[in-house]
Amino acid sequence: PRVAVIVVAAGSGQRLGAGVPKAFVGIDAHTVLRHALHGVFDGPLAQVIVVAPAERVGDALTELHEAAGDRHELASVVEGGATRQASVAAGLHAVWPDVELVLVHDAARALTPATVFTRVVAALDDGDDAVLPVLPVVDTVKRVDGDVVVEAVDRSVLAAAQTPQGFRRAVLEAAYARADADHTDDAALVQAAGVSVRTVPGDDRSFKITTPTDLDRARALLRPDAP
C-alpha cells in the first residue's frame, strides 16, 4: 500500500496507574490497543505497524491479528523505545519501501474514528507535507509564573493537537534523521526541521486516555445506551 500507519503503544501508562502498560488495559471486553486498531483497520488501506513494549510483543501480535481480519498480511509489531519519539523512530524503520504517506497514531487515542484517518490522508493527497488534526481549545487559558497569573491567553489562536498525524514519508524520515531534541509529537518534530504543518478538524472521540477519568469517559462512550 501507499500508506502506513504507525500505532505507538509502547508507553507504560504511569498516569493511568493500572499496573499494566496502558495499551493492554481493558476498556470493555477489548483493550485500548484493540479499540485503536479497529479505527485504523476501518480506515484507508495501509501497512499497520504496532510499536509495543518489549515484554508485550506477543500480546500485541495477538491483538493485531484479531483486529486485522483479512488485512493481517499488512500488519506487524516492533519493539518500542524509552520515549515516544524513540518508539516512532522504531516504527519508521519498519515501513515498507513502496509507502509514500506515513500516519503516526497514539494507541491511547483508542476511540478515534476511521473518518479522521481518511481526512488526514485526503489532506496529504491535496499536497500538504504534514497534517495535524486539531480541536479548538474550550477552556479559558492563562499564562502563569508559579502560582501567579501573568496574563490571559487568547484561545482563538490556540488549538489542541491530536493524532493520527500524517506526513509525506520523505519529510518525516528526513526530520527524524536530523532530530536532536525530544518532542512530544511528530508535528513539533517536523516543524523544528522547518516543515509547515496544516491542520484538519480532529474529533471529540480522539481524546487521549491519560488518567483514570479518561478511561471512565471511554467506558461510558462504549456502553450500549451511550448518546
Binding residue for ligand CTP, selected from 76, 210, 217, 221, defined by CB under 6 A: 210
Rounded to a whole number of angstroms, the minimum distance from the CB of residue 203 to Mg ion is 21
DSSP character string of 70-139: GGGGGEEEEE--SSHHHHHHHHHTT--TT--EEEEEETTSTT--HHHHHHHHHHHHTT-SEEEEEEE--S
**CA-to-CA distance for 188 and 37, rounded, in angstroms?**
24
Rounded to a whole number of angstroms, the minimum distance from the CB of residue 173 to ligand CTP is 18
Rounded to a whole number of angstroms, the minimum distance from the CB of residue 58 to ligand CTP is 17
Instruction: Convert residues 66-95 into a mask of x (bound to ligand CTP by CB under 6 A) and - (unbound).
Output: --------------xxxxx--x--------
**CA-to-CA distance for 112 and 162, rounded, in angstroms?**
10
For residues 11 and 166, which CB has a smaller minimum distance to Mg ion in the complex?
Answer: 11
Stretch that binds Mg ion, among 3-11, 19-27, 44-52, 107-115 (CB under 5 A): 3-11
Name the binder of 39 from ligand CTP, Mg ion, none, CB < 5-8 A by kind: none
Stretch that binds Mg ion, among 6-14, 98-106, 142-150, 204-212 (CB under 5 A): 6-14
Element containing residue 35 per DSSP (H, E):
helix 32-41
**Residue 133, beta-bridge partner list:** 200
Q: Phi and psi at residue 100, in whole multiples of 5°?
A: -110, -30
- 179, with CB counted inside 10 A (0-12, 13-18, 19+), is middle
Regarding 182 and contact with ligand CTP (CB under 6 A), the answer is no
Binding residue for ligand CTP, selected from 3, 5, 22, 189, defined by CB under 6 A: 22
Regarding 106 and contact with ligand CTP (CB under 6 A), the answer is yes
Q: How many helices (H) and strands (E) does the chain have?
A: 7, 10
**Residue 51, beta-bridge partner list:** 8, 78
For residues 43 and 80, which CB has a smaller minimum distance to ligand CTP in the complex?
Answer: 80
Rounded to a whole number of angstroms, the minimum distance from the CB of residue 107 to ligand CTP is 4
Residues that bind Mg ion (CB under 5 A): 11
